[in-house]
């Protein structure tokens, strides 16, 4: 084996290329299972097909496409997706088409899709559930945009829960019936296994799914609901997540009433709610912040067994739960970030997860009576393998808060050191640091292998992924500490994380960059003007530059969240001043680092005007800023061209200003 070549950090040749990531990778969006055959169906977003979402069947060791090429399985309720497909008892799949928003019924055996509910222009559907005994009836979320304009989408979009008779003539008035209305949002509509009950979650502004939601059940009466009963949850105080009917006839759900999303059961026969308590897991989460519809991180395997994701400090593991004894068994799977778990049989399930050494994958997991595990990978988000010697493994660090309005807590981060066996740097130098700040802001980063992070570490950059105050995966208190301080405490946390790594002698403090998307893009822009001495360069992906302007044309889902995050500690008479004070475009003069802005032209969450305003402000003050606009892309990149160009432009930027 030849000795490594000496080259400056940031200039190492990597096996990961922009072209490879754009052409040889997919995104795994959703999974459904036909339990009668064991067939697993995955929704794959494919950059090489301009971001089309295909449905792939995995059965008996073979995988094949089953969705006609003219359809794309992607729902757009709440703009962020999820709830796009659902398995019927007969093995057929309900899906929402991306372009038309029509509901189709897909027969995987023939790969034929039948239109069962045309969507009027402006109507969207998602999160389907079929009646177990009479599958002509489905329930779904309906989102009505017909009265909305780009300026009024926050107030003139209406969400309801509907029942649809998919076999009725479209002209019949009884084909679609509204069964729940009045709140701003609905999610997780589900029939119980007998078809007697329906459960769902609902909430209204200013809540988000992780701040306050309410769980209901009702009796199903052929197209209508009777005896609606509130089970749990409270606006702005208690978040209910992932209600699921167990095979024992009970309704399971997660509630954060203790400060963490813990599991509970509800028995409709005696109306009792019971807490499922597991020793050592009292400060862990059994659910996630539901940015998208259809979250599924636990499921029943039989009448007394649940397989579940347990999240502690943004790191996941999979356990088996015995509901009769309230005991758990760690399955010792390698995954530390889990997206989906679906039942196949009493002793098998499908999981979408990623480990510290492999990117996200879909796997079939089975176990025997001795709990010996068999794991078969069915597909991966990357069609290539990054050799182990190139993989940078996350190191978990916790630093004291030293900057911003809150300095009495901790900052969590994962540090990824430069790693490439073919190269080494001069021993008297330290690596440049890329500080990654996630979106949300109530999101999180995990220690799992992320090919974007590995793209940088294999080139000789260090990466610090910060779980700043407000991140999920650390309990409700840490999540809510950000309220009123958005754009202040999170920014200070990023600087505290950088200083921690500098003090440990891990990185070069003169070559530090900051980057992120959406709320992470906003944090990037705020950091550049609030702490200009810390940063040598920055990259904002679809970041917010003017908070007030964003409020004026915000989409419905997050339209009132700015009040909670930014204004909850502000007097009414000070609102305008605070909105301006927290908007980076008014502080371009204080920014000294060069700024790259990447933006999709069709972004409904953070409109393109935000990037253009920031660039104009920078240019008016003689600052360095470049804007790259991706035609047809939205809130994130799905097409091959945009993915390739984003990596290429970012690499050129970091090399120019940090390496």
| pLDDT tops 70 at residue 310 | yes
Q: C-alpha angle with apex 583: 482 to 405, nearest 5 degrees? A: 35
**Other C-beta atoms lying within 10 Å of the C-beta of residue 535:** 27
Dihedral of the alpha carbons of 537, 543, 548, 553, in degrees to the nearest 10: 150
For residue 162, what are the contacts with CB-CB under 8 A and spacing of at least 6? 139, 140, 141, 142, 176, 177, 178, 179
Quick check: bond before 441 cis, omega within 30?
Answer: yes
Residue 320 predicted with pLDDT over 70: yes
Give the tens place of pLDDT for each residue, 472-519: 999 999 999 999 999 999 999 999 999 999 999 999 999 999 999 999
Region 85-109: mean pLDDT is: 98
pLDDT above 90: residue 554:
no
Please state whether beta strands 433-437 and 512-517 pair in parallel, antiparallel, or not at all (unpaired). Answer: parallel
Give the SS3 label for residue 476: helix
pLDDT for 551 equals: 85
Q: Would you place residue 1 in the very low, low, confident or very high pLDDT band (cuts 50, 70, 90)?
A: low
Average pLDDT over residues 96-117: 97
Strand, helix or coil at 89? coil
State if pTM tops 0.75: yes
Q: How far is CA 315 from CA 3, 46, 333, 338, in A?
A: 36, 27, 13, 9
Collapsed DSSP state (helix, strand, coil) of residue 238 = strand
Rounded-to-integer distance, Cα 531 and Cα 520, Å: 16
3-state secondary structure 69-93: CCCCECCCCCCCCECCEEECCCCCE
3-state secondary structure of 82: strand
Strand, coil or helix: what is 78? coil
CA torsion 218→224→227→229, rounded to 10°?
A: 30
Could you give the count of Cα atoms lying within 13 Å of 382 in the half-sphere of its Cβ? 21
Please provide residue 200's backbone torsions phi and psi, each rounded to the nearest 5 degrees.
Answer: -165, 170
Mean pLDDT for 265-276 is: 96
Rounded percentage of the chain residues whose pLDDT exceeds 70:
100
Confidence of residue 171 (pLDDT cuts 50, 70, 90): confident
Q: What is the pLDDT of residue 179?
A: 97
pLDDT of the residue at 598: 98
* pLDDT tens readout for residues 596-636: 999 999 999 999 999 999 999 999 999 999 999 999 999 99
Statement: residue 414 has pLDDT above 90: yes
Give the model's pLDDT for residue 151. Answer: 85
Length of the chain measured in residues: 659
489-503 and 519-530 helices, crossing angle to 10°: 70
The full DSSP string for 503-535 is HTT-S-TTSEEEEEETHHHHHHHHHHHHSTTT-
Collapsing DSSP states into helix, strand and coil, what is residue 504?
A: coil
- Report the alpha-carbon distance of residue 342 to residue 267 in Å, rounded: 22
Q: Are 467 and 474 in contact (CB under 8 A)?
A: yes
CA dist 174 and 168 (Å) reads 8
Residue 620, Cα to own-chain centre: how many angstroms?
A: 36
**Mean pLDDT value of segment 581-597:** 98
- The number of CA neighbours under 13 Å toward the Cβ of 435 is 36
């Amino acid at each position: 084996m030849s000795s490594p070549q000496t080259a400056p950090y940031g200039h190492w040749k990597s096996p990961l290329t922009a072209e490879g990531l754009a052409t040889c990778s997919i995104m795994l969006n959703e999974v459904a299972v036909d339990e009668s055959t064991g067939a697993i169906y995955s929704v794959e977003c494919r950059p090489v097909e301009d971001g089309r979402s295909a449905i792939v069947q995995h059965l008996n060791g073979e995988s094949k496409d089953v969705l006609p090429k003219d359809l794309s399985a992607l729902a757009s309720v709440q703009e962020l997706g999820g709830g796009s497909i659902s398995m019927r008892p007969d093995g057929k799949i309900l899906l929402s088409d991306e372009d038309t928003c029509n509901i189709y019924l897909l027969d995987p055996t023939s790969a034929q899709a039948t239109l069962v509910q045309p969507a009027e222009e402006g109507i969207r559907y998602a999160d389907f559930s079929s009646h177990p005994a009479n599958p002509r009836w489905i329930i779904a979320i309906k989102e009505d945009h017909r009265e909305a304009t780009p300026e009024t989408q926050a107030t003139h979009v209406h969400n309801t829960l509907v029942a649809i008779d998919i076999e009725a003539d479209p002209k019949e008035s009884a084909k679609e019936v509204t069964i729940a209305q009045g709140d701003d949002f609905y999610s997780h509509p589900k029939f119980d296994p007998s078809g007697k009950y329906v459960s769902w979650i609902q909430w209204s502004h200013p809540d988000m799914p992780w701040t306050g939601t309410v769980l209901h059940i009702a009796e199903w009466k052929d197209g209508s609901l009777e005896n609606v009963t509130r089970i749990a949850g409270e606006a702005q105080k208690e978040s209910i997540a992932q209600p699921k009917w167990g095979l024992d006839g009970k309704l399971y759900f997660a509630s954060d009433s203790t400060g963490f999303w813990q599991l509970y059961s509800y028995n409709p026969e005696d109306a009792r709610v019971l807490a499922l308590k597991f020793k050592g897991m009292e400060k862990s989460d059994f659910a996630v912040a539901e940015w998208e519809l259809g979250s599924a991180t636990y499921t029943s395997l039989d009448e007394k067994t649940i397989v579940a994701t347990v999240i502690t400090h943004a790191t996941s593991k999979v356990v088996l739960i015995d509901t009769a004894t309230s005991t758990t068994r760690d399955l010792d799977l390698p995954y530390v970030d889990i997206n989906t778990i679906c039942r196949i049989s009493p002793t098998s399930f499908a999981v979408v997860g990623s480990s510290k050494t492999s990117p996200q994958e879909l796997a079939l997991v089975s176990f025997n009576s001795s709990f010996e595990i068999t794991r078969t990978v069915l597909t991966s988000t990357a069609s290539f393998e990054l050799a182990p010697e190139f993989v940078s493994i996350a190191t978990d660090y916790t630093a004291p808060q030293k900057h911003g309005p809150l300095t009495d807590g901790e900052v969590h981060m994962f540090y990824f050191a430069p790693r490439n066996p073919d190269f080494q740097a001069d021993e008297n130098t330290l690596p440049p640091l890329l500080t990654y700040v996630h979106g949300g802001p109530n999101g999180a980063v995990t220690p799992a292998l992320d090919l974007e992070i590995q793209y940088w570490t294999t080139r000789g950059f260090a990466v610090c992924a910060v779980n700043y105050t407000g991140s999920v995966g650390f309990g409700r208190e840490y999540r809510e500490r950000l309220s009123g301080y958005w754009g202040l405490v999170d920014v200070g946390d990023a600087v505290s994380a950088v200083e921690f790594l500098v003090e440990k002698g891990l990185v070069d403090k003169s070559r530090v960059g900051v980057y992120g998307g959406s709320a992470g893009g906003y944090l990037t822009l705020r950091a550049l003007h609030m702490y200009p001495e810390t940063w040598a360069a920055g990259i904002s992906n679809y970041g917010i530059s003017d908070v007030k302007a964003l409020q004026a044309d915000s989409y419905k889902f997050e339209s009132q969240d700015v009040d909670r995050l930014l204004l909850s500690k502000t007097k009414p008479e000070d609102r305008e001043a605070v909105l301006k004070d927290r908007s980076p475009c008014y502080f371009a003069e204080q920014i000294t680092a060069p700024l790259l802005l990447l933006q999709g032209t069709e972004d409904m969450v953070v409109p393109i005007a935000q990037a253009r305003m920031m660039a104009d402000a920078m240019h008016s003050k003689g600052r360095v800023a470049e804007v790259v606009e991706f035609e047809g892309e939205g809130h994130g990149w799905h097409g091959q061209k945009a993915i390739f160009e984003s990596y290429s432009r970012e690499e050129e930027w970091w090399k120019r200003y940090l390496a």
